[in-house]
Structure 1
């Protein structure tokens, strides 16, 4: 066997060992064929080609070894992080798939999803630590001043949702010396995010420590999220009131209430019935010329008592969408008669008639609008002549509340 064949055999053995060392699954055929194709070349060029292939294989082996080491480190880091979270008793909630880029993500998001993106009710950390319970006493005391608070948190006790106490907690409870409680009521849904004082009990003084205020928000489902801050001193820690576990079981149409802040119960919310507003009135006489405000004295319907027969004015009792109608009838040849609907002193709609030959003509107009509570509506007779008598309902004014709004 000549020198070139011996070197090629050595290269093949080197490649096989490299494959075992790094899990490389490639074949050595291409290398061997590449070397043998140069058999008729001078010895120096053949050796140079062999050493070039060897250097290339060494580089590939080093690269694969680095990749394997990086994957191992990533796996170990992930395992360590999960272990730390289990020890600390906290679990971070995440929603939706992994974000690839802003453009792709926004294409699949609705307006509701975009709103929820910044809502702390959908982005919080679960804080499930049994030692925070108001009935817990531990040998080793904890100080939340050492915690690195970030973002919003939701309190749990052994997997059950609960909230901070709204009353003074005895000393040495909640796994600390001075338990922190919420010095104020929890907010309602309509309140949004509020700021509340936090007090720490010590030496028979329920608010011996006035800690840094926190933010609180009520969420759908009868639970609260808190934006905790570092307390003012040690040893202070935030409490979780075990008496409020029942609140997490309340349905959507219930509210968790308590008189003494110790015994809590679910109370069904009162249903808010939409206010009913309907009126229909007529003017039982003739009108001529300009009348600033028609006083419809014959009131046939006045549900909700929002129409005043003495003044002829309708006053909106609630915010909402209203619909009005008004009519006239004229019988004078060549006369033009206009009735205008006036809303908050603005002329907004007209009921117009024009008689070109001996006859009587009636006109009915309708108008729909949103009104705030206290808005006034009436009808003015701007010109012409309108006909009616005590038995007819030709000059009329009426309306209804269609939808009540906040």
Structure 2
């Protein structure tokens, strides 16, 4: 059985080797395993058979793509390691799209070694002046000749820079067709994203669709890119000279733009921790129904969100809030105070005492509010008692966390 499997394996190797010229030889684990148990030998053989079957399928797909390419190349053998002339390929959209789709499918997965590693802390610095959008030269460069591996961070003379987010004029960035990022850069909370890359040529900003790349935003206003080989030459990844200002943004600033040309540093509003706290009391007695209690004695009103003239709290920012309110009642049956949020009764402070006894009741309520939401307390029935020093009829609250809604 083992001998038969090894023979089949050898046949597969010969077939795979014949489908395409290879730059390296295939090494078999099966040749040096005579001292291992039979079950382990069979497992190794089966695994290598599956790997070779998969490689045969890939080789077949490559052959099909290459055969489609021949009519566009004047019947000349297609050598993917030789620079292709942009002029001859500019009208061959079908060939270009076919090659792009094939390389996208082949190289779209994450490397196994990348698991658990933050590319913001593990990248290769790419500081090449000719990549700048204002750089022109007669000597052109092609990124297809680069051996891309892992993540890269762009620099310009030691200063952080990023890819352009709009079309770049041809014959810039030290190449014929400059490559720019489609869809913009991600935010930090987006993590690793995939973005399309286009090359400008012959008045078409996206005539050449290079394989997509992965991008991640990092703390400190910079980005890392997982560059891959473009499918044609002469094309190269660009660095937007206008984004040099982004490297000067402070810790609590972000680099923004409205036209993707002019960039500027702006403070992060969502990082500012708003401080909203209030505490007020009603220094008197309330009897029967009062639609809205106006708490005349205000002790704390940080953020000025409580209106002391109306008794209404208005949320200055969206976020999570906590409120509390209380009453002191004595005799005469039940007493109810309700917390009203945007016109809805959401929480009650209820007490029911008979005779000469007196009791206080405190209720709390936590909720998420949008900016502009209103909160107040109504006295629905019964009798509540307080004086200028007791602070038994109170209303207060705090913003716990700013949150976008």
Output the TM-score relative to the length of structure 1: 0.53
Report the counterpart of residue 367 of structure 1 in structure 2. 364
Displacement of 1:133 after TM fit?
2.7
Q: Which residue of 2 aligns with 1:400?
A: 397
Judge which range, 125-134 or 183-192, deviates more. 183-192
- Which secondary structure does the structure 2 equivalent of 1:247 belong to? helix
How far apart, in 1, do the equivalents of 2:386 and 2:243 lie? 69
1:203 is displaced (CA, Å) by 1.8
Take 2:213 and 2:197, find their aligned partners in 1: how far apart are those partners?
7
Partner of 1:54: none
Q: Is residue 129–residue 157 contact of structure 2 (8 Å, CA) maintained in 1?
A: yes
Per-residue CA deviation, residues 279-332 of structure 1 (Å, 9 max, x unaligned), is 747595434xxx9xx7334343695368997xx997866322313121131135
Residue 383 (structure 2) aligned to one of 374, 381, 386: 386
Counterparts of 2:207 and 2:308 in 1: how far apart (Å)?
A: 58
Cα deviations by residue, 1:216-258 (Å, 9 ceiling, x for unpaired)? 3321111111232333432221112233333222221333345
2:331 aligned with 1:331, yes or no? yes
TM-score (norm 2): 0.53
User: How far apart, CA to CA, are the structure 1 residues paired with 2:330 and 2:124?
Assistant: 73
Shift in Å at residue 200 of structure 1? 0.9
Corresponding residue for 2:320? 320
**Contact residue 165 and residue 181 of structure 2 kept, 8 A:** yes
Distance 1:316 1:257 in 2: 28
**Structure 2: any 5+ residue segments left out of the alignment?**
1-114
Compared CA separation, residues 306 and 202, structure 1 to 2 (3 A): farther
Is contact 1:362–1:394 with CA below 8 Å preserved after alignment?
A: no
Equivalences for residues 214-253 of structure 1 within 5 A: 214-253=213-252
- State whether residues 338 and 381 of structure 1, in contact with CA within 8 Å, keep that contact through their aligned partners in structure 2: yes
- Cα distance change of structure 1 residues 307 and 188 upon mapping to structure 2, 3 Å threshold: farther
Distance 1:215 1:391, change over 3 A: same
- Which residue of 2 is the match for residue 286 of structure 1? 287
Contact kept in structure 2, 1:328 and 1:394, CA below 8 Å: no
Structure 1 unpaired stretches of 5+:
1-115
Q: What are the superposed Cα offsets for residues 133-176 of structure 1, whole Å, 9 maximum, x if unpaired?
A: 33444555333344444433211233322111233323233232
**Secondary structure in 2 matching 1:175:** coil
Q: SS of the counterpart of 1:198?
A: strand
Is residue 177–residue 235 contact of structure 1 (8 Å, CA) maintained in 2? Answer: yes
User: In the aligned structure 1, how far is the partner of 2:389 from the partner of 2:248?
Assistant: 61
Aligned to 1:67: none
Counterpart contact for 1:281–1:297, Cα < 8 Å: no
2:294 to 284, 295, 298: 298
Q: Per the alignment, do residues 206 and 336 of structure 1 end up closer, same or farther by CA in structure 2, a change over 3 Å counting? A: closer
The answer on whether the counterparts of 1:296 and 1:397 sit within 8 Å (CA) in structure 2 is no
On the 8 A contact 2:329/2:351 being kept in 1, the answer is: no
CA distance in structure 2 between the partners assigned to 1:340 and 1:176 by the alignment: 71
Residues 244, 381 of structure 1: alpha-carbon distance in 2 compared, 3 angstrom cutoff: closer
Residue 183 of structure 1 is matched in structure 2 by 182
Provide the aligned length of Structure 1 versus Structure 2.
277
Secondary structure of the 1:240 match is: coil
Partner of 1:153: 152
Counterpart in the other structure of 1:212: 211
1:7-406 paired onto structure 2 within 5 Å? 117-137=116-136, 140-258=139-257, 261-262=260-261, 264-269=263-268, 272=272, 274=274, 276=276, 278=278, 280=280, 285-287=286-288, 295-300=291-296, 303-304=304-305, 318-332=318-332, 352=351, 354=353, 359-367=356-364, 369-373=366-370, 385-388=382-385, 396=393, 398-406=395-403
| TM superposition shift of 1:402 | 3.8
Secondary structure of 1:298's aligned partner: coil
RMSD: 4.3
Partner-residue secondary structure (3-state), 1:200: strand
Change beyond 3 A, Cα 1:250–1:376: closer
Query: Is residue 169–residue 179 contact of structure 1 (8 Å, CA) maintained in 2?
Result: yes
1:15 maps to which residue? none
With over 3 angstroms needed to count, the CA separation of the structure-2 counterparts of 1:346 and 1:153, relative to structure 1, is same
Rg larger for: 1
How big is the shift at 1:276? 3.5
1:120 and 1:152 in contact (8 A); partners too: yes
